[in-house]
A and B are shown apart, each in its own frame.
Chain A
Amino acid sequence: MNIFFLVFIGLGIILCLLRMIKGPTTPDRAVAVDTISTITTALLVFLGFIFKRYIYLDVSLVYAVLTFIGVIAIARYLEKGI
């Protein structure tokens, strides 16, 4: 049953990657990167469940914090420049 979940998550990441390659404007690519990073946070927790490693939860928490700060920085740069 875990295979189906991994296939669904992988298809979501691949579709976002196609949008990131194809997107006509810069905010399109930023939206695709943000979606990929949120999906990756869930994927890390799920990989920790598959491999039975508790340390993956810490990795996922730090990844979520860094993603939030990075997306806020990209948005401020697009708005009027840092």
Chain B
Amino acid sequence: MHLAGGIVTGIGTIFLFLGGLGVFRLPDVYNRLQAGTKCTTLGAFLTIIGVGIMEPSWFWKTLLIGIFILLTNPISNHALGRASCKSGVPLCKKSVVNKSKDFCKGETK
């Protein structure tokens, strides 16, 4: 039981490190937002569930925290992406298509 929890927690911490690396390295706000939300949601969920597996009497509370993060982290990051789109942050130069141009320009001012 201890070994299984250690493996799950290790995978989660590796995903947390990859999320930080993506936030540091990617060229644009929207790319950084993608790396920051996906890797961090999966990494935090796996880390917390792994701690719950290693200590079996803590399992239900860690499951509660994990499900709360799984529900609220994409919502807050989506709000940040919508706000950065409406406040006029440009895309990076390698971008190919921008399908939300009308939405961003339409309600700015």
Q: Looking at the assembled complex, report how far the CB atom of A9 sits from the nearest CB atom of chain B, in whole angstroms.
A: 6
A interface bracket (residues with beta carbon within 8 Å of B): 35 or more
Q: What is A's interface to B at a CB cutoff of 8 Å?
A: 1, 4-5, 8-9, 11-16, 18-19, 25-28, 30-32, 34-35, 38-39, 41-42, 45-46, 48-49, 54, 57, 60-61, 64-65, 67-68, 71-72, 74-76, 78-80
1/0 per residue B1-38: CB within 8 Å of A? Answer: 00000100110111011011101100001001100100
Q: Bound complex: CA of A74 vs CA of B84, how far in Å?
A: 11
B16 near A45 (CB under 8 angstroms)? no
Name which residue of chain B comes closest to A30, CB basis. Answer: B80
- Interface contacts (Cβ under 8 Å), in number, total 146
In the bound complex, do residue A31 and residue B36 qualify as a contact, i.e. CB atoms below 8 Å apart?
A: yes
Q: Which residues of B contact A27 (CB under 8 A)?
A: 29, 80, 83-84, 87, 89
Q: With the chains together, A48 CA to B61 CA distance in Å? A: 13
Per the bound structure, the CA–CA distance linking A38 and B62 in Å amounts to 15
The main secondary structure of chain B at its interface with chain A is helix
Q: Which residues of B contact A67 (CB under 8 A)?
A: 76
Q: Which one, A12, A28, A61, contacts B17 given CB within 8 A? A: A12
| Interface size, chain B (Cβ < 8 Å) | 46
Q: Which residues of A contact B17 (CB under 8 A)?
A: 8-9, 11-12
Binding site for A on B (CB under 8 A): 6, 9-10, 12-14, 16-17, 19-21, 23-24, 29, 32-33, 36, 40-41, 43-44, 47-48, 51, 54-55, 58, 61-62, 64-65, 68-69, 72-73, 75-77, 79-80, 82-84, 86-87, 89
User: Could you tell me the distance between the alpha carbons of A68 and B72 in the complex, rounded to whole angstroms?
Assistant: 7
Given the known inter-chain contacts A19-B23, A38-B44, A39-B44, please indicate yes or no for A79 contacting B87, CB distance below 8 A: yes
Q: Is the CB of B76 within 8 A of A15?
A: no
